[in-house]
């Protein structure tokens, strides 16, 4: 029950963070979506052994989180939660790629370890960027921005309804878990074999609940158009931020900043 409650609170936490007022929150959602897409494309385009080249992007993401007032602990908690998936993907890289690529004193580092570290860093940056986008924009506004940028309305609405369906699913799961525990004595009814029927019942209950919610939305005039409390309007400031941030990300991708800095420091010492 604690895990279900934690997931429910985390979903609400993102909506709560999106309702704040900051420099990042006041930007047009389309601008933030385009900047995030540029960030993602730049990060995933690095070589599989690249590590130092992605560090400036980590600084950029940290700056955005700070300006948006997003707690670093919240983002780190999410990254730690999903990091085992990335670790599982690159777990065998050190086994299959043993070509020596780096020498630190007497220690030889194989390419598999570098590719594993690069994969983990790439994963953290991309997931962190998506979390920053949702936490400073809100999922409704993100779906509206995607529709305005050319995504078919049916796909945008499906994404929005899928997000709202998660709340229904978690809420029904909380109720069923609480009822199961209240009806269990001395651990009876809490065995693993009861999870199968519970999951089936959860699916049926959430489908029924979703149908009632859909009818209620239609009765209130829902016509498939995504609307938000904050009006979406591009201003000169939004376009300037898009140009500056997009240009900065492209420069960070084209120029190896850590390499230039290392050469400069080496030249000054020498």
Expressed as residue numbers, the domain containing 114 is 2-269
Tell me the per-residue pLDDT of 41-70, one tens digit each, with 9 for 90 and over: 999 998 888 888 888 899 999 999 999 888
Q: What is the pLDDT of residue 1?
A: 46
Tell me the two tokens of residue 221: 């005039």
| Distance of alpha carbon 16 from alpha carbon 39, whole angstroms | 24
Q: Using alpha carbons only, what angle is made at residue 92 by residues 88 and 93, rounded to the nearest 5 degrees?
A: 110
User: Exposed, middle or buried: residue 252 (CB in 10 Å: 0-12, 13-18, 19+)?
Assistant: buried
What stretches of 84-209 adopt beta strand conformation (E)? 100-104, 107-110
Tell me the two tokens of residue 154: 């049916």
| Low-confidence spans in the chain with pLDDT less than 70 | 1-11, 103-105, 185-194, 226-231, 257-259, 261-263, 265-270
Q: What is the pLDDT of residue 126?
A: 93
The helix/strand/coil state of 108 is: strand
- The total domain count for the chain is 1
| Distance of alpha carbon 87 from alpha carbon 3, whole angstroms | 22
Q: What is the pLDDT of residue 220?
A: 81
Q: What is the pLDDT of residue 189?
A: 58
Q: Using alpha carbons only, what angle is made at residue 33 by residues 29 and 39, rounded to the nearest 5 degrees?
A: 145
Q: What is the pLDDT of residue 4?
A: 47
Tell me the per-residue pLDDT of 241-264, one tens digit each, with 9 for 90 and over: 999 999 999 998 888 766 676 667
């Amino acid at each position: 029950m604690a895990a279900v409650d934690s997931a429910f609170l985390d979903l609400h936490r993102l909506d709560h963070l999106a309702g704040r007022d900051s420099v990042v929150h006041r930007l047009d959602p389309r601008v933030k979506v385009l900047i995030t897409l540029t960030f993602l494309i730049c990060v995933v385009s690095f070589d599989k052994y690249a590590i130092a080249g992605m560090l400036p992007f980590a600084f950029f993401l940290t700056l955005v989180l700070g300006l948006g007032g997003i707690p670093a602990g919240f983002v780190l908690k999410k990254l730690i939660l999903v990091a085992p998936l990335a670790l599982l993907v690159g777990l065998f890289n050190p086994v299959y790629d043993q070509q020596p690529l780096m020498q630190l004193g007497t220690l030889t580092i194989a390419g598999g370890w570098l590719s594993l570290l690069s994969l983990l860093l790439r994963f953290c940056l991309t997931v962190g960027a998506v979390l920053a986008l949702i936490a400073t924009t809100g999922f409704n506004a993100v779906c509206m921005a995607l529709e305005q940028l050319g995504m078919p309305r049916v796909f945008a609405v499906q994404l929005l309804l899928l997000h709202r369906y998660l709340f229904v699913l978690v809420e029904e799961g909380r109720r069923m878990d609480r009822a199961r525990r209240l009806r269990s004595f001395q651990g009876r009814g809490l065995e693993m074999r009861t999870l199968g029927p519970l999951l089936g019942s959860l699916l049926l209950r959430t489908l029924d609940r979703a149908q009632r919610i859909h009818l209620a939305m239609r009765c209130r005039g829902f016509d498939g158009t995504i609307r938000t409390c904050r009006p979406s309007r591009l201003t000169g400031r939004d376009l300037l931020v898009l140009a500056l941030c997009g240009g900065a990300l492209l420069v960070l991708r084209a120029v190896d900043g850590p390499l230039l800095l290392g050469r400069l420091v080496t030249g000054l010492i020498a």
